[in-house]
Every structure is written in structure tokens, then in C-alpha cells.
Amino acid sequence: MKIILISLDTLRASRLSGYGYGKRTSPHMDRIAREGVLFERAYAADIPTEVAHTGIFTGKVGLTTGIVSHGSELTHLPKNTSWLPALLRSAGFTTSAVDNLYQLKEWFARGYRYYINSAGGKRWIDGRTVNELAFPWLTQHKDESFFLFLHYWDAHTPYLPPESYIPEFYPDGRNPFDPANRSMEPAYNHLAYPFFKHHHYDLLGEVTDSAYYDALYDAEIRYLDDRLRDLDHHLDALGIREETLVILFGDHGESLTEHDIYWDHCGLYEPTVHVPVIMRWPGRIPEGRRVPGFVQQVDLLPTILEAIRSENPSGIDTSKLADPAGLDGASLWRTIQGKADSTHDTIYLSECAWQAARGIRTDRYKLIRTYDSGPFVRPERELYDLLADPEETVNLADAEPELAGQLERRLTDWVSSKLAGRPDPMMLQLEAAGLPFRRRIEQILGTAGLSWDDWRRNPRRERFDLAVRHHG
């Protein structure tokens, strides 16, 4: 049995043609979905990257593992925590990853017989690089039962697709550097500008048209889609495509100017927490199935374990693959087989990087409770009717205080049940070190001779750029 688990970093579900987007961003992913199952309402319960992947490999949400923040020096995952690659290796799978997350936290390298670091001399990790590292490994191990984790970063900023991919998504004759276009001003004058100037604005020059960034994101998805097509062609050439369980997931999505978030993945709004999940396993997963109800990333671990137990592959000790205790995820197999439409009735959401917030998402409503808004302006409570207002533009918290209070109590009760008397790791992070990404901005400001409070009073791009030039 062969399993390829594929993380499509920063991939927003609503930007894929298979999820209803009008542009042709994902023809090959659409094909994989037609050959298998697509989960229409899959959610990242914990964002961004560090916490999302920790949840996927443990089958547990952040409040269970204690990992709720991204980039924090305070976090640690105990080595006795059940970890998917380690479970599979102990049962007899050859385990490998083409990934670089261990540079963020050591636990992302646990359990692998082969860990191939995808980071190199380039500024960013290109999907072609991931394939160049993965294909020889696949060729060498094609006759074994293996688990391979592939991590593609193409949809993450900085958006630097090959030039040939851009025209399909950006109107011919439109000038992204037109000085008369002022749509980039809100992004350039945002409190988070010092961080993004360094990370991606400077790489593209004096872009004035915000629609150009959106087009580059689409172009990156299309480029990524082609790299997944190349992967499938390689599986075909090796003769192992039919026996390989392929799972695609987005670790989180991306906001493209919505809610004052400019090409980044914070905020518990749909663009960031609604992610794609697509699975294909020829002969085992029915073709063309679309699961309509709520599922979440922590469901992937028990799904993989159940798949292995049901397949009972030769040479694999399935007795070592019982579901670990305390899982928050539930196997997706009943939904795949059409026996259920969801694994969860309610989704609970969390972030602690740019902002600290938690949310509850029911079939109709979403409530977001913000504890620290970081470089954003947020009310303490936001309530959205997602049936009437799918873009989350009308905050009903003041107009519907009873409903907002009811949902907040449900959220609070859920948090308490998960903590079971333990300290809240989000509050510990805020009290001991503050928001990790605010600290990054403070460090950048410090090199320019500016303080956070001073910058917050007057966040003007020209002012920061002048300070940077003055301080060399």
C-alpha cells in the first residue's frame, strides 16, 4: 500500500475551479476530484501553518496538544504524543517527507526514515524543486509500502509564478504599475506593511494595482496544479498510480484584501479557514463523490489509519495502527462511502500569530471572539449569518446580542472541556510573550528606529521607507 499526503500550503478552497471558482486555476486537481472525493466544507480548525500541520499529524486540535501559536518559542510537543509518520513507520511503512517544516519545529521530522529538506539556496521553494526531490525517491521505493509527505509552497507569498502563467489571469493591456491606480494604498499603509515590504512587496516592484496580486495568486495555483499533474504522470510511469492513496489538503487559505488582510492567512474568516480536501484511491474510493457537510483536518489521521486497517497490506502490522487515545478527528470513511454527510456538526476555530482569536462555525452562523487584534482593528465579538452574508461583511453582534451570547457560551464551554483544568495556552502566550508576528514587526521597526506605538499612530509607507533609508 502506498500513501502520498500532500500539503498545498496557503490554498484557498474558493479559488479552485472545482469549488466553484470561475477561472481555470485547477484543471488537474479537478480531475483528481472527479476520480475520487471532494469535501465541499473542509475546515482548518487551527491556523496558520505550524498549528494546522500539528493537528493533521496528531489528529488533535491545538487545545488538546497545547500547540495553538505559530512561530512561538514557548511551544513544545511532547515526544510521547502519537504522530502519524511514527505510527506508520512502527507498523512497517517506509516513511519519507519532502518538506522543510522541521526548521520551524523539530517535531515535524519525527517518524521519517527519510527526511528530504526542500529548502535550498533559492529564496522560495518551487513546486518543481519538490518534484525533483520526490521523483527519484518514488522510483527507488516504488515496490515498497510507503508513506510520503509532500509540502508544496507555491500558493504562499511571495507570489512569483513563471511569467507565462500570468496572462490567463490578468487582463491583457492592463498595467499593474499604473500610477493612476491607487488600489494598493490600503495595503502599503497598513500596520503590517514593514513585514510584507520585506517578504514580498519589494520582490515585485512598485505595483499599484491590487488586482495584480490576486492574479498572481491564481497563477501560482495554476502552476501548482501543473506540478501535481507531473506527479501523477510519474506515478503512471512507475505503474503505481492505481494502488496509491493520494490526499490533497490546504493547511489554511488566503485572504486577498478581505477584512483588511492583504495577501496573508490570518483572521478566522472563510477565505482562510475554508480549505480544499480531495482524495483519490482507485477502486477503493468511489468516483465523483462530493461530501457536503463539515469535516476538518484532524479527520485525516483516523481516515488514513482506517484505510490501512481495511486494506491490511502484506508486511504491515496493523495491530500497531489502532486510533490513538483522545483524538479530536473522526474517520472520513462513512462520508466517503455516502453513509454520512459530515463528521462534525460544529467547527471550532483558533489562531494565535498575527491575532489571537477563537471562533465557532455552525451551519448558518459564525461567531469570532478576538482577544488581541495585533496590527488589525477588530471588535471583540463578530457574528455573521453565512447564509445571508457569505462574505462576512455585516457584523450582527450588536443587533443580535442574545444569539451572539449563546454562541460565545458554546465556544467557552468547548474551550473549558478541552482544557479540562489545564492553563489556556493562548492566554499563556499572550501574557508571557505576546503575539509572535507583532514581535516580528516590532523587531523590523526597531532596525528602522521606530517603535510600535509610534508606528501605530501613523502607519504610512513613505514614513517607514524613509526611516529604513536613514538607518541604512
Report pLDDT digits (tens) over 198-235: 888 999 999 999 999 999 999 999 999 999 999 999 99
pLDDT value at position 234?
98
Contact criterion met (CB below 8 Å) for 429 and 69: yes
Per this entry, what is the length of the chain? 472
Give per-residue pLDDT as tens, 151-206: 999 999 999 999 999 999 999 999 999 999 999 999 999 999 999 998 889 999 99
Q: What does the radius of gyration of the chain's CA atoms come to, in whole angstroms?
A: 22
What is the spatial distance between Cα 117 and Cα 126, in angstroms, rounded to a whole number? 13
* CA dist., res. 223 & res. 347, Å (int): 31
Is the confidence at residue 123, as pLDDT, over 80?
no
Q: What angle do CA 408, 403, 293 make, to 5 degrees?
A: 80
Q: b/e string for 175-204 if b means 16 or more Cβ within 10 A?
A: ebeeeebeebeebbebbbbbbbbeebbeee
pLDDT at site 124: 78
pTM across the whole model: 0.97
pLDDT the model gives residue 471: 87
pLDDT of the residue at 199: 82
**Backbone φ and ψ of 79, nearest 5°:** -70, -15
Q: How many CB atoms lie within 10 A of CB 420?
A: 8
146 residue type, one letter: F
Phi, psi of 258 (to 5 degrees): -65, 140
Q: How confident is the model at residue 65 (pLDDT cuts 50, 70, 90)?
A: very high
Q: Is the pLDDT of residue 122 over 90?
A: no
* Cβ atoms of 64 and 326 closer than 8 Å: yes
Q: Nearest to residue 59, comparing CAs of 38, 37, 36, 88?
A: 88
Cell reading at 67: 500547540
- pLDDT, residue 200, reads 87
Q: What are the two backbone dihedrals, phi and then psi, of residue 200, each rounded to the nearest 5 degrees?
A: -155, -25
Q: Is the peptide bond before 158 cis (omega within 30 degrees of 0)?
A: yes
Residue 272 has pLDDT above 80, yes or no: yes
Res. 121 pLDDT band, cuts 50 70 90: low
Q: Once rounded to an integer, what is the mean pLDDT over residues 103-114?
A: 97
Question: In this structure, is the dihedral angle defined by the CA atoms of residues 363, 350, 257 and 129, taken in order, positive or negative?
Answer: negative
Instruction: Name every residue whose Cβ is closer than 8 Å to that of residue 283 and which is 6 or more positions away in sequence.
Output: 242
Give me the mean pLDDT over the 249-260 stretch: 98
d(CA 360, CA 356): 14
Question: What per-residue confidence (pLDDT) applies to 322?
Answer: 98
Average pLDDT of the residues in 242-247 = 98
Indicate if the alpha-carbon torsion angle 285, 290, 292, 294 is positive or negative: positive
pLDDT at residue 60 tops 70: yes
String of b and e for 351-378 (b: at least 16 CB within 10 Å)? bbbbbbbbbbbeeebbbbbbbbbbbbeb
pLDDT at 472 over 80: no
**Residue 354 pLDDT more than 70?**
yes
Express as a percent the part of the chain with pLDDT over 90.
97
Structural domains of the chain, ranges and CATH numbers in brackets: 2-174+211-345 (3.40.720.10), 185-208+435-472 (no CATH)
* Distance separating alpha carbons of residues 238 and 191, to the nearest angstrom: 50
Indicate whether 356 pLDDT > 80. yes
Share of the chain above pLDDT 70, in %: 99
Q: Which residues pair with 272 in a beta bridge?
A: none
Place of cell 465579538: 381
- Is residue 65 within 8 A of residue 51, CB to CB? The reply is no
**Alpha-carbon span 321 to 309, nearest angstrom:** 7
Neighbours of 115 (CB within 10 A): 19
